[in-house]
Amino acid sequence: MKQHISKKARIPLYLKILAGMIAGIVIGFAALQFDKGAEIVRNWLMPWGKIFIKMLQLIAIPLVFVSLVKGVTGLQDIRKISSLGGKTIGIYIITTVIAVLLGVSAGLLVKPGNIVDKSQVAHLQEQYVETTERNRALAEENQSQGPLAFLNDIVPDNITAAMSDNTKMLHVIFFAVFFGIAALAVPRDKIKGVLEFFDSLDLIILKMVDYIIRFAPYGVAALMAGLVTDFGGNLSVFGSLAVFALTVIACMLILMFIFYPVLIKLFTKMKWTEFLKKVYPMQLFAFTTSSSAATLPVTMDTAENKLGVSNRVSSFVLPVGVTINMDGTSCYQAVSVLFIAQVLGIDLSLLQILVIIAMTVLSSIGTPGIPGGSYVILTMVLTSVGIPAEGLALILGIDRPLDMLRTAVNVTGDVTVAKIIDTAEEKDRKNI
């Protein structure tokens, strides 16, 4: 029995997901050869795909809430070393915003989803008519509310209502961050129980995410089969998927080989070529594990022993970065949301694009540093702007290689910021 389990465990999940994707495509094409094939796929396979998406949506709010509260309360030293804390968070947010803007620009410029055959888009819109209509209503509502509608959208008036509505992710984020900040202001020994509670809750929720992601190969197979039959076997969707992947890869390479080296050149005394050489093994580790949390020890080692960052800075900046700073993830999420909207023929208003920017910046903070951490969060970002979460099926099959790349970018972003902050701190120390 034991042997059986270990044999099974040897096939990595991402290969199973890829196999699921291929199986789904084959099943979809096979079904199209029969009269009732598409109907059978719709009635007997698609529900499993939908259950998978629902499970992801189910866990999204608890995950975002608990990981944000944990992330913010984890900044316990922020008051002790407040300048370090302020600088760290400020730079993290700025780099994330730039990464998201890169993703949005790439998605809008390349328009990978528009390659899909237009006749198929009309057919798809029919399928998702309910969400598309809600999306239109949302855009109109946004337009009639003036330029600050977006800010107004962040603040909830009722937390239970926000928690019971998957489109209200910004509300949940607002409450979680507010709760975390208030918790920081209360003496720690008075709230020890609550902090421990959140630590334990986080472990349970991450386990739930793990179970759900293990179901991914089957969910992806079902969704893919449904997608192929929905598209009537039209291959243009795969062409657009390839362009989507290339767009993401290009963005990741820009972040890794242009953006960070430029930051290093501008704000530190290190040569950017030396920086790239030294971070390479860490990037490789992140690339193979697809988890920035699992890479943390290597990230710390790289920062301290290879980039010369002081332990004082790295021990604060890097663990915080694992949760808060995910440039690769946020850039990827922005491209994905635009891609899915384009494939489904959903026109996004400028305000919706602004909401996507804000949401991807904030949601990358709530994304766990584990393989596939993005899917869970993406379901929420999609629903929040009125795009059907089932659209995720389009990109799940090829997620793993992109996940590997974005994880490498995430950790490179963390060490870049650590190096910049260390250089600034050193200067301050010398000036004293």
* Residue 165: DSSP 8-state: -
Where b means 16+ CB within 10 Å and e means fewer, 406-420 reads: bbbbbbbbbbbbbbb
What is the smallest separation between the CB atom of 394 and ligand ASP, expressed in angstroms? Answer: 16
What residues from 232 to 261 belong to the interface with ligand ASP (CB under 6 A)? none
Q: Which is nearer to ligand ASP, 229 or 360 (CB)?
A: 360
- Residue 369 binds ligand ASP, judged by CB under 6 A: yes
- Residue 290 binds ligand ASP, judged by CB under 6 A: yes
- Residue 360 binds ligand ASP, judged by CB under 6 A: no
What is the smallest separation between the CB atom of 217 and ligand ASP, expressed in angstroms? Answer: 17
Count CB-CB contacts under 10 A for residue 359.
27
* Residue 349: DSSP 8-state: P
Q: Are 318 and 296 in contact (CB under 8 A)?
A: yes
419 closest CA partner among 296, 312, 314? 314
What is the smallest separation between the CB atom of 216 and ligand ASP, expressed in angstroms? Answer: 12
C-alpha 279/C-alpha 301 separation (Å) is: 10
Q: Which is nearer to ligand ASP, 171 or 406 (CB)?
A: 406
Q: Which is nearer to ligand ASP, 225 or 326 (CB)?
A: 326
- Residue 410 binds ligand ASP, judged by CB under 6 A: yes
What residues from 385 to 404 belong to the interface with ligand ASP (CB under 6 A)? 403
Q: Please identify which residue in the block is written with the tokens 């600088």.
A: 87
Residues 6+ apart with CB under 8 A from 324: 71, 89, 92, 365
Q: Which of 344, 370, 392, 418 binds ligand ASP (CB under 6 A)?
A: 370
Count CB-CB contacts under 10 A for residue 431.
6
What is the smallest separation between the CB atom of 248 and ligand ASP, expressed in angstroms? Answer: 11
C-alpha 361/C-alpha 372 separation (Å) is: 17
What residues from 117 to 156 belong to the interface with ligand ASP (CB under 6 A)? none
Q: Which of 95, 96, 229, 291 binds ligand ASP (CB under 6 A)?
A: 291
What residues from 63 to 92 belong to the interface with ligand ASP (CB under 6 A)? none
Q: Which of 107, 372, 397, 413 binds ligand ASP (CB under 6 A)?
A: 372
Q: Which of 132, 352, 407, 423 binds ligand ASP (CB under 6 A)?
A: 407
Q: How far is CA 273 from CA 71, 117, 386, 425, in A?
A: 33, 44, 44, 23
Q: Which is nearer to ligand ASP, 217 or 373 (CB)?
A: 373
C-alpha 240/C-alpha 237 separation (Å) is: 5
Number of residues that bind ligand ASP (CB under 6 A): 16
Contacts to ligand ASP by CB under 6 A: 290-292, 326, 329, 367, 369-374, 403, 406-407, 410
